[in-house]
Amino acid sequence: MQKVLEQYSGRQNQLFAASNITERMLYYIKANRNPSKESLTALVISLGMETEEIQQILKTAGYVLSKSLPMDMVVLYFLEHRSEMDREMSLVWQINEVLEELELPLLGTRLYGKGEIIWGKP
């Protein structure tokens, strides 16, 4: 993961905006700490990786996108239909719109209480 993130060292602000994670979370990941599945998924999707690469990175962190979990099914659907999605909007934000409608955890964030969003909280 470190090598992948080094490619984006000059464009980190774009990465924060596209992935819906904070600078603090990025440093957390760079320090070889294990982020939440939602944060890591948001980051690797925003890096433009293919589904197989995303699954491999998630696997090294102890996670997987499964077709048996509702949140994961939404993410996998968007990844499989990436070419049909709105290019003007970050894929992570498009996924989050659907996840929010379905009242599922959002990528890059964690929900606390009723609708209170704590951005990028590890």
Q: What is the pTM of this model?
A: 0.76
* SS3 of residue 120 by DSSP: coil
Cα separation of 55 and 61, whole Å? 10
For 44-66, write each residue's pLDDT tens digit.
Answer: 898 888 999 999 989 988 999 99
pLDDT band at 118 (very low <50, low <70, confident <90, very high): very low
Q: Write the CB contacts of 92 (distance below 8 Å, at least 6 apart in sequence).
A: 18, 19, 20, 42, 45, 46, 107, 108
More confident residue, 52 or 89: 52
